[in-house]
A = this chain, B = another copy of it.
Amino acid sequence: MSLKVALAQINFVVGHIAANVDNIIAAAEYARDQLHADIVVFPELTITGYPAEDLLLRADFIETANNAVYEVAERVEGIAMVIGFPEQAEGVLYNSAVVLYQGVVLACYRKQALPNYGVFDEQRYFTAGHKPCVFEFNGVFMGLSICEDVWRPGIIETYKQSGAELMLTLNASPFNAEKIHQRETIIGDQVKAAALPLVYVNQVGGQDELIFDGASFVLNSHGEVVFRAAEFKEQISVVEYDGTNPLLTTCAPHYQPISSDYQALVLGIKDYVRKNGFQGALLGLSGGIDSALVLALAVDALGADKVEVVLMPSQYTQDMSNEDAVLEADALGVQYHVIPIAPAVQAFTGMLAEVFAGTTKDTTEENIQARCRGVILMAMSNKKGKLLLTTGNKSEMSVGYATLYGDMAGGFAPIKDVPKLLVYALARYRNSLAEVIPERVITRPPSAELAPDQVDADSLPPYENLDPILERYVELDQSAGDIIAAGFKREEVVRAISLVDRNEYKRRQSPPGIRITSRAFGRDRRYPITSGYRGV
């Protein structure tokens, strides 16, 4: 007996229930009419988008979401649809999946494994279900599961014992570099152990800090990947089964270091701008590597006509920085403005002369320069309705090597979770497609150019040492002792860690950025500001 299962890897807007319903209906009709599918599977919490956060605490929101399920059921016939929604029942909320066919609910499943770690807070909203859900469709017994369910040992096995012949899994699994390997390996092992084939549908798109990469896949009963959808794109695909045996189809390539990261960042910018209704984006271009990369990402995400840049030189800006910035703008064809900051810096210096009399120059004067740039950029963002992109990287964000309300100003920080060494790798990758960043921007020593002849290496360990120390401390929770024991210099470890500890207050006021590592600052790493803990 033949069965065609469609995978609807769609980009939803969190909270926009009406738009999501239209999206679901269009996808179901496409799967039915163009792909001749019998059943179409959508991502987790399809109706609301994921994660809807505290919108899930609103009674009006939940009521609208529950009504929307009936609307979908009534508006599409001729294909079974598996959609996710926050199910209000018995005075509590479940993270549920429902099977709709010919206006009728065939089955409803309540997620059993509710993740409450990392970026996930599902136990804040949902009550866990306690039993599997198997339904028969087209002569096949299908089991429903949702995301975390199939990562935990036991649930797939329970389904096997309940008579399921094919698992359908709805997911909202955010991207990071290791994630796609983990998904296919861990879930593949469980599928193999239970000999129960599986369809895995992931959402795609950017939502504040999170990127969902799609890369939906189909496993046969040996746990082998027989189909994989593209990364970072919407795609509605179909897999044909002979009984429950998937016939070999196509596999899109999966995660490639650097190039996948690049695509993740492009999608993150594109979706933040689009979903929040900005007219485009703007950024300050310094001639340094960070802003050069953010410019390339922004242009690749939005098109050159939607991006503009501002050069804001000071007395400490080297000529080559200005030259390189202009070269970058020209190479990508974006409009640029040049606004020297001297008049504002001089004004503030004069205004503060009396209160600062008798004090010595310190980072205060450097911060004033950065904040004058922040005022200019925010004024342009306000006037033009364009999103200001912040250009700081993860290494800076970790150690606080950035000025609050200065270079940290902006609505979105695309490379906030990109360590400096990866910034270089992404720049080289982009240049390998077409050179848009002058070579010397990549090779010259990085500098904030806020004081004479300043370079980052004056204040920070070299990035070749700093980045791995930060990864161990921030992402892997290693102690200073562990990191020193691994061969890093004690003084560099002490310096890096104490800077990370002291700068939580800055990070708390930073704009959101795109998570691409296994632990980003933001909802992923929740530290107190007031803290007597010292990592060293």
Interface residues of A (CB under 8 A from B): 13-17, 19-20, 49, 51-55, 57-61, 116-117, 121, 123-124, 206-208, 271-272, 275-276, 337, 339-341, 343-344, 346-348, 350-352, 354-356, 359, 362-364, 367-368, 371-372, 374-376, 378-380, 382-383, 404-405, 409, 411, 477, 479, 481-482, 505, 508-512, 525-533, 535
Contact = CB atoms under 8 A, between A and B. Distances in A.
Contact of A528 (B207, B479, B532): B207
A374 B371 contact: yes
Given A49-B532, A346-B347, 10 more contacts: A16-B533, A58-B479, A116-B124, A207-B530, A341-B351, A344-B347, A368-B379, A375-B375, A405-B405, A509-B509
A512 B533 contact: no
Nearest to A124: B116
Closest 4 CB pairs of A and B: A16-B532, A15-B533, A60-B479, A15-B531
A355 B383 CA distance: 10
A121 B524 CA distance: 13
A344 B372 CA distance: 9
Contact of A380 (B60, B116, B355): B355
A535 B356 CA distance: 48
A528 to B, nearest CB: 5
B379 A352 contact: yes
Contacts of A527: 53-55
A61 B371 contact: no
Nearest to A481: B60
11 contacts: A14-B533, A54-B525, A271-B530, A337-B354, A343-B351, A347-B347, A348-B379, A362-B383, A374-B405, A405-B409, A509-B509
Nearest to A371: B375
A184 to B, nearest CB: 27
B367 A532 contact: no
Nearest to A344: B347
* Copies of this chain present: 2
Contacts of A54: 525-527
B52 A528 contact: yes
A350 B343 CA distance: 9
A532 B19 contact: yes
A339 B364 contact: no
A532 B13 contact: yes
Contact of A59 (B59, B405, B479): B479
A124 B527 CA distance: 13
Contacts of A411: 505
A376 B352 contact: yes
Contacts of A124: 116-117, 121
A345 to B, nearest CB: 8
A14 B530 contact: yes
Contact of A348 (B20, B206, B376, B479): B376
A69 B350 CA distance: 56
Contacts of A477: 57-59
A53 B511 contact: no
A314 to B, nearest CB: 12
A404 B354 CA distance: 27
Contact of A533 (B61, B359, B375): B61
Given A347-B346, A533-B16, A121 B376 contact: no
A374 B348 CA distance: 11
A279 to B, nearest CB: 14
A368 to B, nearest CB: 6
A367 B375 CA distance: 9
A530 B382 contact: no
B355 A382 contact: no
Q: Which one of A344, A350, A409, A535 has the highest number of Cβ atoms from chain B below 10 Å of its Cβ?
A: A344
Given A123-B116, A362-B383, A405-B405, A14 B531 contact: yes
Contacts of A16: 531-533
Contacts of A505: 276, 411
Contacts of A508: 511-512
